[in-house]
């Protein structure tokens, strides 16, 4: 057996063992796995996919470089999932999905943010605003920043202590 075959076989087995250990220790956080990836196990960890971790069968010993060739396979058929039906009690809650990809969508969302800040009356946190207007944390913070730049909102504090006030 040539030396190169032995080395790739050892690397493949090392990868299999690593996946098996990660499956055993499902309490690990992404941050902890990221720290492991900075060390000696980095190359093997970066070649592991989520499918490898949640799969119940044997782990492929394909390395990350060889894995890139799988894009040439035919794509798997996607199953259309029905959209969840909103219950009557959730009709009054703001939609979590907000369109901010267009200028008109951003303007409408910013207006909702401004109205929420004014309705809260006192200092408003990003979390309070998000509960009222929906969207993601990043969408709310971006909207508030646009309102600050436009002079409609002021802020005090920093980090989680940041509070927003109508100008």
Under the banding of pLDDT at 50, 70 and 90, the label for residue 69 is very low
Residue 89 within a domain: no
Is residue 135, in this structure, part of any structural domain at all? yes
- Are 143 and 99 in contact by the 8 Å Cβ rule? The answer is no
Per-residue DSSP letters for 68-81?
Answer: GGGGGSPPPPPPPP
Residue 81 inside a domain? The answer is no
| Shared domain check, 100 and 55 | no
Examine the domain organization and report whether 149 and 103 are in the same domain: yes
List, for residues 88-138, the tens digit of each pLDDT value: 544 445 556 788 889 999 999 999 999 999 999 889 999 999 999 999 999
Q: Is residue 19 included in any domain, yes or no?
A: yes
Residue 96 dihedral angles phi and psi, to the nearest 5°: -75, -25
Residues 150, 110 share a domain: yes
What pLDDT score was predicted for residue 65? 43
Percent of the chain with pLDDT over 90: 35
Q: Is residue 125 part of a domain?
A: yes
Indicate the number of domains in the chain: 2
Domain hosting 49: range is 3-67
For 24-55, the pLDDT digits (tens) are 887 888 888 888 888 887 888 888 888 888 87
The 10 Å CB-count burial string (b at 16+, else e) for 152-162 is bbebeeeeeee
Q: Quick one: angle between helices 137-150 and 103-120, nearest 10?
A: 80
């Amino acid at each position: 057996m040539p030396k190169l075959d032995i080395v790739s076989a050892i690397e493949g087995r090392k990868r299999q063992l690593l996946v098996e250990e990660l499956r055993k220790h499902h309490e690990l956080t992404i941050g902890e796995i990221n720290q492991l990836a900075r060390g000696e196990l980095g190359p093997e960890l970066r070649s592991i996919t989520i499918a490898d971790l949640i799969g119940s069968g044997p782990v492929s010993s394909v390395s990350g470089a060889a894995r890139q060739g799988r894009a040439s396979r035919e794509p798997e058929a996607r199953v259309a999932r029905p959209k969840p039906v909103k219950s009557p009690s959730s009709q009054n809650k703001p939609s979590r999905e907000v369109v901010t990809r267009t200028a008109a969508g951003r303007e409408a969302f910013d207006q909702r943010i401004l109205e929420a800040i004014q309705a809260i009356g006192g200092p408003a946190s990003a979390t309070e605003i998000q509960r009222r207007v929906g969207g993601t944390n990043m969408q709310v913070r971006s909207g508030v920043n646009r309102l600050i730049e436009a002079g409609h909102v002021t802020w005090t504090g920093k980090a989680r202590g940041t509070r927003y006030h109508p100008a």
